Amino acid sequence: MADITDWIAIQYRKYPASSAIILAALVLIATLPFLIVSQNESAAERIADYAYFFLVIGVLMRIINLKSKTLKKWLDAVKNKVIKALASFYAYCKKFYNDLMRTPNLKYKTIMVTAILTMLFIDYAVPLNFTTTLKPIPPEYQWLANQTGSFTIAEYPVIPEIYSAEPFNASDPYYIFYQQFHGKKLFNGAWNGIGKAVEDQVSNLSNPQTPQILAWYNVSYVIVHYPSNPYQPYQGLSLVEVFPNASVYKVTASPSIYWPYQLQQIEKNLKPTTLVP
C-alpha cells in the first residue's frame, strides 16, 4: 500500500494538473453506483458525462506532458516490434511456399492450391445475402406510419421473451424491431426494474384500470395482435382499425388518479438490485 501511495505522490508532483483532473474523474465515477441505486438516473447521466470529459482531458494532458525523448523511444520500440512481426510473417509464408514446392506428391499440392482458391472464391465471389429486412411490413404498422404527430403506442400481448408461442412472433423484440419503420414512441420494451413492473400491471386489457394507467402515461393507441387476443370490446378503448392479424384501438379512458400512489408502492417493493435503467 505504501508503494502505491508513493507512486501516486510522485505522479502528482510530476504532473499536478493532469493528476488532479484524473482524480476528479475517478471521484465522480465512484459516485455513480449510489446515484443508480437511488434511482437518480438524470444526475447519474450528467455525472458520467463530466467524468468522461475530465478523464479524457487528464489523459491528453498526461500524453502532452511526456518528454519527447520518452515518446520517441516508445515509438521506436513499437516500430521495431511491427517490423519484426512482418518479417516473421514473411519468413513463415516463404517457408510454407518452399515446402509446398519441394513436396514430390502432386496430389498434395493440388489439394492445397484448390483449397486456397476455393476460400478466396467463396470470400469474394459468392454473394451471401444474409441481411435483415423489414419486408413485408405488417399492415397495422403501415397504417401507424401514416399517422401524423408524435404520440405513444402500446402493443399487446405483453410478452418480453425473444421467442413467443405466437405464430407471428408477437413479443417486445418484435415490436421494437418494427418501431424503426413507424417511428412512434413505444410503451413496451422494459426488461427489468420499474418499467418491467409497470408492464406487468397493464398486461391484461380486460382489467378496466389498464386503459386508465395507459392514459396516465399518455398512450394514444393500443395495437392488439391476434390470435391470443382476438377482437373484443374493451372498456376505455375505442376501435379504430381492424387488420388481418391485429386491431387498433384509441385510448379514451381518463388517466387513473390512483396510479401514482400504486406506483409508489411498487417502487418500494422492488429490490435495489432490480433497479437497472
Q: Which of 44, 51, 55, 52 is nearest to 28 (CA)?
A: 51
85 shares a domain with 198: no
192 shares a domain with 269: yes
Cα-based distances in Å from 171 to 21, 160, 224: 46, 6, 11
Average pLDDT estimate for 48-59 = 79
Average pLDDT of the chain is 76
Q: How confident is the model at residue 249 (pLDDT cuts 50, 70, 90)?
A: very high
In a domain, 87, yes or no: yes
Residue 160 has pLDDT above 60, yes or no: no
Handedness of CA 36, 41, 46, 48 (dihedral sign): positive
Helix axis angle, 209-216 to 193-201, nearest 10°: 140
CB 214 within 8 A of CB 251: yes
Residue 145 has pLDDT above 80, yes or no: yes
In a domain, 134, yes or no: no
In a domain, 148, yes or no: yes
144 shares a domain with 270: yes
177 shares a domain with 61: no
Q: How confident is the model at residue 24 (pLDDT cuts 50, 70, 90)?
A: confident
In a domain, 132, yes or no: no
In a domain, 178, yes or no: yes
Helix or strand run (H / E) with residue 156: strand 152-156
203 shares a domain with 252: yes
Q: How confident is the model at residue 214 (pLDDT cuts 50, 70, 90)?
A: very high
Residue 153 has pLDDT above 90, yes or no: yes
155 shares a domain with 39: no
Residue that terminates a domain, selected from 124, 156, 171: 124
Using CA atoms, how far apart are residues 111 and 95, in angstroms rounded to an integer? 18
What pLDDT, on a 0 to 100 scale, did the predictor assign at position 276? 41
85 shares a domain with 45: no
In a domain, 85, yes or no: yes
Using CA atoms, how far apart are residues 197 and 263, in angstroms rounded to an integer? 9
Three cell numbers written together for 259: 396510479
pTM score, whole prediction = 0.50
Residue 274 has pLDDT above 80, yes or no: no
pLDDT, greater one: 194 or 261: 261
- Model confidence pLDDT, tens digit, residues 237-247: 999 998 888 89
Share of the chain above pLDDT 90, in %: 17
Cα-based distances in Å from 10 to 7, 15, 54: 5, 9, 21
Handedness of CA 31, 32, 33, 35 (dihedral sign): positive
In a domain, 129, yes or no: no
Total domain count for the chain? 3
CB 171 within 8 A of CB 160: yes
77-91, 126-140, 161-175: segment of lowest average pLDDT: 161-175
Q: How confident is the model at residue 20 (pLDDT cuts 50, 70, 90)?
A: confident
100 shares a domain with 6: no
250 shares a domain with 150: yes
151 shares a domain with 264: yes
pLDDT, greater one: 187 or 19: 187
Q: Per-residue DSSP letters for 202-233?
A: T--TTSTHHHHHHHHTTEEEEEEETTTS-S--
Map grid coordinates 387498433 to a residue.
248
Using CA atoms, how far apart are residues 159 and 224, in angstroms rounded to an integer? 12
pLDDT, greater one: 109 or 259: 259
149 shares a domain with 265: yes
Cα-based distances in Å from 112 to 101, 108, 116: 11, 6, 6
For residue 165, the 8-state DSSP code is S
Q: Could you give the count of Cα atoms lying within 13 Å of 172 in the half-sphere of its Cβ? A: 17
Three-state SS at 163: coil
Residue 82 has pLDDT above 70, yes or no: yes
Instruction: Give the domain range for residue 93.
Output: 68-124
What pLDDT, on a 0 to 100 scale, did the predictor assign at position 115? 79
In a domain, 130, yes or no: no
Using CA atoms, how far apart are residues 222 and 254, in angstroms rounded to an integer? 15
180 shares a domain with 261: yes
